[in-house]
């Protein structure tokens, strides 16, 4: 998206397309008040919603709709500019007619994806980590994703970065004072040692955030749980039960599943993707052999593996090496119970709730260790800061130490405010919908 011109006025629907009770159209820019006057005749007092009859033009007799209209002054708006909102009935025809009326006002144009939020960033209403959190919040499908996104949106990560930056600036000021005015100021070796200790502590805190980032990413993007076992053990039947629909083909013919089928499921607020894969067995069928190889690779990368076996199928132990967090399931227990962590039947439903509880318990422990940072851009900034802080500690030259401390500060600042990095902004705001 090209850099927005904050001197023009943009508009777009803020609600999803389709039939709905209400549709909201946003306007932002210097002509926001004029837009209300053109369609509604007069502008209500700021931040007060008013019921108005919208017309195609101020001097027209054609009524488009009765709508709630609100005006925001720049200081109290989302974008930091004058804003207007039209809350109209949500039919497609009504929305299209209002957009047509707005497009006929000179100087107005349709907003690009994320342009409202980009203007909010430019005008200091939020920083880039908050904008990324807002995009995550819009995309959130589970409670854990919502909580993590909200933490970013509310500025908790930004506040943490500001704290690290402030502590580094305080230490840097002391080092530079010792370099520039060593004979004139009373700075002891103990003072400089304390600065280095503080740098070390900040580096440790940054590393903890990076260690937790793997879990943060999993909360944001989802955990993977692989169903592993021989053909006809009941993997596809279990997938269909979890998906609550016929997602996988169930057949008595062994080797029906060839590729990896991914089914997303919300388990008590955790986003989990179940993987149904080819049954594991030695086979001479070249296509099935590829499916088995893909199944083994997917199983190895999964966060949890459900190792399934039953009385009428061969055990999978010779093809899969067990891990600590594997869950062993004895399937088809309606035909008789067997060894394993859980006895399960997709016919009666026995054991399914217990399986989901075990998965949730295991994954929620990992989710509890997650932090705020989950975006590659954020993590790269933290890693750069850690590298600079370690370089600062690995030198006895105070000038070199100060230089690396400055680079670390810049790396942290770049996370919340990447000055001049338009390509970074373009990538972030491309995730947004038109009206946000």
CA atoms within 13 A on the CB side of 220: 25
Q: Do domains 9-121 and 137-219+375-416 have the same CATH topology?
A: no
**pLDDT on residue 181:** 74
The pLDDT value recorded for residue 332 is 86
What per-residue confidence (pLDDT) applies to 229?
86
Residue 9 has, within 13 A of its CA and on its CB side, a CA count of: 22
Binding-site residue positions = 26, 85, 125, 232-237, 251-257, 436
Classify strands 83-89 and 63-72 as parallel, antiparallel or unpaired: antiparallel
- The fold adopted by the segment(s) 223-368 is Rossmann fold (3.40.50)
- Hey, what CATH topology would domain 9-121 get? Gyrase A; domain 2 (3.30.1360)
Q: pLDDT band for position 424 (50/70/90)? A: low
| Number of neighbours of residue 39 by Cβ within 10 angstroms | 27
- Name the residue ranges covered by the structural domains of the chain: 9-121, 137-219+375-416, 223-368
How do 261-267 and 270-276 pair as beta strands? Answer: antiparallel
The residue among 16 and 161 whose pLDDT is bigger is 161
Q: What is the spatial distance between Cα 274 and Cα 271, in angstroms, rounded to a whole number?
A: 10
3-state secondary structure (DSSP) of residue 208: helix
Residue listed under structure tokens 């101020």: 58
Q: Which of 3-7, 154-158, 203-207, 358-362 has the lowest mean pLDDT?
A: 3-7
pTM of the full predicted structure?
A: 0.74
pLDDT at 1: 40
**Whether pLDDT at 340 is above 70:** yes
Asked whether the beta carbons of 30 and 4 are under 8 A apart, the reply is: no
Mean pLDDT calculated for residue range 171-180: 87
Residue 230 has pLDDT above 50, yes or no: yes
Q: Residue 203 is encoded by which pair of tokens?
A: 């580096």
Per-residue confidence band for 428, with pLDDT thresholds at 50, 70 and 90: confident
Instruction: Say if residue 144's pLDDT is above 90.
Output: no
pLDDT at 190: 86
Contacts 24+ apart (CB under 8 A), 29-33: 29/81, 29/82, 29/108, 30/81, 30/82, 31/82, 31/105, 31/107, 31/108, 32/71, 32/72, 32/81, 32/82, 32/83, 32/84, 33/71, 33/82, 33/84
Share of the chain above pLDDT 70, in %: 88
The alpha-carbon radius of gyration of the chain (Å, integer) is 29
Q: Please report, to the nearest 10 degrees, the dihedral formed by the alpha carbons of residues 304, 305, 310, 316 taken in order.
A: -160
Q: What are the tens digits of pLDDT across the range 30-52?
A: 999 999 999 998 999 999 999 99
Band of the pLDDT at 411, cuts 50, 70, 90?
A: very high
More confident residue, 34 or 312: 34
pLDDT value at 246 more than 70:
no
Give binding residues for GTP as ranges: 232-237, 251-257
Residues comprising the binding site for (6S)-5-formyl-5,6,7,8-tetrahydrofolate?
A: 26, 85, 125, 436
- More confident position, 431 or 86: 86
The pLDDT value given to residue 314 = 61
Residue 310 is predicted with a pLDDT of 85
pLDDT greater at residue 211 or residue 414: 414
Binding residues for Mg(2+): 236, 257
Per DSSP, the residues of 287-340 read HHHHHHHHHHHHHHH-SEEEEEE-TTS--STTTS---TT-EEEE--GGG---SS
Is the pLDDT at 224 greater than 80, yes or no? yes
* Token code pair at residue 22: 């209400």
pLDDT tens sequence across 261-300: 888 989 988 889 999 887 777 766 777 777 778 888 888 8
Q: How confident is the model at residue 2 (pLDDT cuts 50, 70, 90)?
A: very low
pLDDT at residue 252, rounded to an integer? 54
Helix, strand, coil percent values for the chain (each to nearest 5): 45, 15, 35
Which pair of tokens denotes residue 18? 């389709």
Nearest to 39 by CA among 89, 90, 84: 84
CATH tag for 137-219+375-416 (out of 2.60.210.10, 1.20.120.430, 2.40.50.140, 2.40.37.10): 1.20.120.430
At residue 30, the pLDDT reads 96
Percent of the chain with pLDDT over 90: 46
pLDDT level of residue 104 (50, 70, 90 thresholds): very high
* Mean pLDDT, residues 383-397: 95
- Distance between alpha carbon 225 and the CA centroid of its chain, in Å? 20
Least confident of 108-117, 123-132, 178-187: 178-187
């Amino acid at each position: 998206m090209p850099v927005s011109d904050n001197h023009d006025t943009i508009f777009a629907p803020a609600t999803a397309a389709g039939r709905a009770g209400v549709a909201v159209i946003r306007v932002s820019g210097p002509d926001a008040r004029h837009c209300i006057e053109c369609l509604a005749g007069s502008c209500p007092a700021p931040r007060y919603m008013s019921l108005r009859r919208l017309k195609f033009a101020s001097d027209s007799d054609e009524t488009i709709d009765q709508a709630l209209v609100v005006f925001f002054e720049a200081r109290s708006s989302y974008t930091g500019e004058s804003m207007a909102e039209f809350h109209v009935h949500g039919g497609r025809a009504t929305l299209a007619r209002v957009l047509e009326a707005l497009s006929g006002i000179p100087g107005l144009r349709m907003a690009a994806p994320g342009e409202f939020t980009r203007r909010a960033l430019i005008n200091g209403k939020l920083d880039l980590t908050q904008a990324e959190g807002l995009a995550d919040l819009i995309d959130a499908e589970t409670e854990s994703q919502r909580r993590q996104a909200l933490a970013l949106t509310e500025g908790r990560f930004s506040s943490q970065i500001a704290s690290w930056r402030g502590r580094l600036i305080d230490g840097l000021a002391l080092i530079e004072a010792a370099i520039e005015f060593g004979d004139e100021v009373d700075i002891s070796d103990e003072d400089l040692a304390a600065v280095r200790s503080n740098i070390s502590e900040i580096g440790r805190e940054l590393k903890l955030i990076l260690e937790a980032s793997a879990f943060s990413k999993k909360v944001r993007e989802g955990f993977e749980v692989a169903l592993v076992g021989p053909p006809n053990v009941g993997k596809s039947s279990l997938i269909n039960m979890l998906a609550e629909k016929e997602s996988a083909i169930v057949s008595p013919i062994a080797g029906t599943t060839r590729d990896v089928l991914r089914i997303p499921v919300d388990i008590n607020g955790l986003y989990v993707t179940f993987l149904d894969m080819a049954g594991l067995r030695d086979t001479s069928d070249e296509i099935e052999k590829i499916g088995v190889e893909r199944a083994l690779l997917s199983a190895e990368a999964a966060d949890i593996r459900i190792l399934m076996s039953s009385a009428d199928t061969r055990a999978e132990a010779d093809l899969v090496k067990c891990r600590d967090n594997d869950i062993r399931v004895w399937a088809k227990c309606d035909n008789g119970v067997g060894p394993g962590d859980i006895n399960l039947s997709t016919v009666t439903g026995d054991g399914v709730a217990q399986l989901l509880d075990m998965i949730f318990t295991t994954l929620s422990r990992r989710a509890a260790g997650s932090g705020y940072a989950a975006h590659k851009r954020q993590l790269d900034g933290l890693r750069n800061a850690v590298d600079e802080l370690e370089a600062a500690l690995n030198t006895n030259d105070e000038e070199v130490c100060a230089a690396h401390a400055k680079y670390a500060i810049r790396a942290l600042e770049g996370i919340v405010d990447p000055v001049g990095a338009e390509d970074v902004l373009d990538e972030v705001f491309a995730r947004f919908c038109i009206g946000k």
